Structures are given as C-alpha cells and as structure tokens.
Amino acid sequence: MNGGSHVSVQQLSAAKLDSEELRTRLLKPDVISGSEILLRSLLLEGVECVFGYPGGAVLYIYDAMHGNPDFKHLLTRHEQGAIHAADGYARSTGKVGVCIATSGPGATNLVTGIATAYMDSVPLVVITGNVATTFIGTDAFQEADITGITMPITKHSYLVRDVKDLSKTIREAFHIANTGRKGPVLIDIPKDVSSHLTEFQYPEEVNIRGYNPTVMPNKGQVNKLLQAIEEAERPVILAGGGVVYAGAHEELLEFAQKTRIPVTTTLLGLGGFPSGNELWMGMPGMHGTWTANTALQNCDLLIGIGARFDDRVTMKVSAFAPKAKIAHIDVDPAEIGKTVPTAIPCVGDVKMVLELANQKAKPAKSEAWIQQVNEWKAEHPLSYKDSEEELKPQWVVEMIHRQTNGDAFVTTDVGQHQMWAAQYYRFNHPRRWISSGGLGTMGFGFPSAIGVQVANPDATVVSINGDGGMQMCSQELAICAIHNIPVKIAVLNNQVLGMVRQWQEIIHGQRFSHIDLAGSPDFVKLAEAYGVKGLRASNKEEADAAWQEAMNTPGPVLVEFVVRRDENVYPMVQAGTSISEMIMGDAE
C-alpha cells in the first residue's frame, strides 16, 4: 500500500498492536533515523492509520514507510481531506487521530482542520515537515512558521530541533492531546531531523512540568450540587460534547434517572443521552426545539455538563435562563463562568464527577415539571410542511434514519442540512454523530466520513452534505473508489447556499446576494468520474429506491437528492434575541 497499491478499508484499519512480539521489536534500541523513530513511536501509541499527503520536507518519512508492513497510511487528495479524516477517526473512536503534511503550503492547508478540532476538543496529533534547521528563518522554499501560525488553535506545539528529542516529543504530544480537555497537538519536524540517526528509546512514562489537568472532582462541590437538586422544582440538564468525549453517557443516563431531571443535548452532545428516553427534550438554541428552549427559560436549576454555553445555545446571554441557579461540570476550569454566571462550579472529568454524584443522588421535586415538559413536547413537536410534489430535505433525513434503523454513523457538512440532520436523525448511542460545531467548517462532512469508515470498517457510515460543502472536498471521492471505502453519501441539492439564503430572507429583507449555486456540477456524473456509483432522486418514491440501492451496494455510493430551494430550518432564533423568541415557520 505504501508503494501505491490499492487496499480495502478493512486492511486500512488492520494495524493493531496486539502482538507482544511486535511491541518487543518496536522497542528494540536500534540506531535508526528520525523518520523511523516517528513510525515506531506512532505504532507504539496504537495508531492504526495515518492520513496524509507527501512533499519535499517529509520525503525521508515517506521513504521510511516504503515496505513497512506494520504502518498504514491513507493518501488523500488534499491536506484538508487528510486532517478532516483524522478528525472523524478520532471523534468516532475516542482515540487520537493522526495526519501528516509537508512544509509550507502543505502545513498551512491543515490550519482549518486544526481549528476545527480545537474548537470541538478533538484529540489529534498533527505532524508537519519543515525545511532543515539550518534554513529555518531564511524564507527558504516552502518554509512557513507553522508553530507560530497555529499557536492559538493548538493545545501545544513542538518544533523538534534535535532527533534525540523526537521520541519524547511524540510521547508527550499524545498524552497532551488525549488528556484533560482534549485537542490538537502539532509536531513540526525539520527535514534534517527526520534523516539524522540516534538510538531509539521510547519513554515509559510522561511527566510534563506544569501540565496536570484536574480530573478528580471536589467532593464538597458535588455535595452542593446534589443539595441544590433535592431543592429544585424545575431542573434542567444541558449536556454537551464533553459527555461524549469523556465516555460518560451511561453515567449521565443514570444521573438523570436518579434525579428525575429533563435533559437537552447540544449539537455536539447528540447521542450522549438517548433520544428515545422520556427525559430527553431535543437540542437547544438557535435551531433547538420549542420544548428545550422553553424549559431553559423557565428552569430554576440549570446543570451544564461538558457544555461550554456557546452563543448558538444561549443566544442573548443576558436573557438566558433568567430564573435559574447555574451549576457547571467541566474538565476545563477556564470554561466555568466564562459566559454565564456560575453558582456551583464542579471542575473535573465529567465521568468521574457523575460517578461520584450517582453514589448519593436523590430525586428533585420535579414530577410536576416533567409532566409540564411532556405536555410541551406533545403540543410543540418538530414539524415541517410535507409535500408530495417536491422532495423535502427533512423527509429525506427521516427516510435515511428509517432505512438505517437509526444505527448509522452520521457525518455532516455545515449549513441547513446539518441542522435538519441534527433535528430529524435520532441518536441513541454516543460517537455516532460527527459534525463541525464550534468552527462550522464547510468541507468537513465527507472526508470526516472516510476517517469514520476506516475506524469502523464494518459499520454503516452516512455522510449528509449540502451541494456547497460537497464541492469543497469532493476530490476525496477518488480514495473511496480506490480503496472501496463504502461511505454512503447524501447530497441535499437545493442549488443555493441555503443557510446564507435563509438569513438573507429573514434578517436582510430578502436581499439575496451571491448565494446561487445553480452552476454546480452534475453530482452523479462527478461521482462516476471518480469511479463511485451515482444516483439521483427528485421525489419520495425515487428517494426511497435510490437509498435502498445505495444501502445494498457493497462500495461507496453518492445519492443526489434534488430538494426544495426555498425550504427553511425551523425553529429559528435570530441573533441578538432571546431563545424565547422562536420563529416557528410552518408550525405558526
């Protein structure tokens, strides 16, 4: 494969460090190059597949890959495709995703993906090449200060100037990426460092001065929270992506059931609490459910768990949860009190905090509140005006949910289709929902699905995209065809930048400016040009049949759904207004 041969998705994810003989061989103190140290170190960290794109500054590293049967690498068609694939791999597994690119433009092409992972607390180790140490700072060919460029969007970054420091650096990078509040770490390796020789020694332990994340909660603060719960009559849990990343979904379910508190899950928290549970109210915020937003505005105790109270949830902060005492559980102390005033801070790993709380948790005085919430759910469900003449995007998402039994890994791009997928595909398991939340990165959806499929070769992986975002990384169709990566790609084609059009319609007086995507390619022909089966549907009967054919096809398939151009996402809360001020659309 490293020499260019085509392999299956099962082979891509086959690098498992389950052999003691292999581990012994990797740890052998041979005198080897920096490039070989890198590959050995990645294997010792349990890395199954690296996503990357070669270039001059990483040629020694790619030469070390040649003929190495233990090391798996997937050649993407763009560096941004590589880092989004590594991101999808990490989100769907909880493991550290790894990507590699060359210096200069190769490294800078990773910046959007690094920022995407940083905003959403995704553990990545990003490896870049650089010019030789003797040329650093001279404006050499393809030189860029990538550590300086990415300083605000990484947990930490390293410029390795001595090959003797390389193995220690890699060990530290994985530790930092995957502990505390997780995130991307960058390792910049000059070309001469990758070629120099030294004796390989891999550190058994990591001890980083000044880096000691607080994971054990303060028992006194947890007791204060439990006391507040017992006194509360209208409590709400706001669960975020931190619940998913901490593997705390079972503890959250137990906590909610013991305390009898309704739960709303943020965009990145979807799947952290089962959507089929009676206590679930849906997603809050700008495009949240009427029930979730109304409950937030009327609760007397709000418990944020692994959620950062971002602006798309709170909207007008001064009007957010005005009747509530706020408690906040988070591993990152910097998030507590950053946006909303917090009465009960609980710093620590979400799983550990909930485990401790569950030992003594008692019910709130919430039965009348739960009845009220259930009445709201019955009176104000998510709804849309269906059509037998036009294909509605909400119906398409519901159909995909039905045909996949709600059990697929779903990745999305960013825009209207993302919100419809969040609203109408119901998740009962964590790590099945993969979407760019904080940065809102167009082009993320499809390549992230490739990483998810590599990590989960036997699972159903669905990538839901708009016609705008699909064109930003469509070149990665090539690797789906080459390696038979069986991602099922849905393109909701409304021939417009839909979310921008919706804002221009509602907020900017229908002054539609530069949103027309009618000149987009024929997506069926585009897929076929790369060797991927392409299908198209314009009505419900065609859509059902096309998706069934896609599901029954053993390889990758792209289905273009021609949907209504002027459909809007509702509910909607305009920027600068309270989440009480919901525009309900057809439901009004």
Q: Please count the other Cβ atoms lying within 10 Å of the Cβ belonging to residue 23.
A: 12
Does 571 sit behind a cis peptide bond, omega within 30 degrees of 0 on the bond before it? yes
Active site residue 141: yes
Active site residue 48: no
Q: Which of 141, 230, 250, 584 is catalytic?
A: 141
3-state secondary structure 450-509: HHHHHHCCCCCEEEEEECCHHHHCHHHHHHHHHHCCCCEEEEEECCECHHHHHHHHHCCC
- For residue 346, give the H/E element and its range: strand 344-347
Q: Which of 119, 470, 499, 582 is catalytic?
A: 499
Give bridge partners of residue 304 from the DSSP assignment: 238, 328
> Given the structure tokens 């390619």, which residue do they identify?
521
- For residue 122, the SS3 value is coil
Nearest Cα to Cα of residue 435 among 255, 250, 287, 253 = 287
Identify whether the C-beta of residue 27 lies closer than 8 Å to the C-beta of residue 44: yes
CA dist list (Å): 140 to 56, 61, 62, 157, 363 = 12, 20, 21, 21, 65
Nearest Cα to Cα of residue 127 among 97, 155, 163, 152 = 97
Terminal Cα distance for the chain, rounded: 57
- For residue 192, give the H/E element and its range: helix 191-195
Tokens encoding 421: 């997928």
Active site residue 191: yes
Active site residue 499: yes
What letter represents residue 515's amino acid? I
Q: Which of 11, 95, 142, 533 is catalytic?
A: 142
Cα distance between residue 157 and residue 391, in whole Å: 48
Q: Which of 79, 143, 251, 560 is catalytic?
A: 79
Q: Which of 182, 191, 325, 351 is catalytic?
A: 191
The catalytic residue positions are 79, 141-142, 191, 499
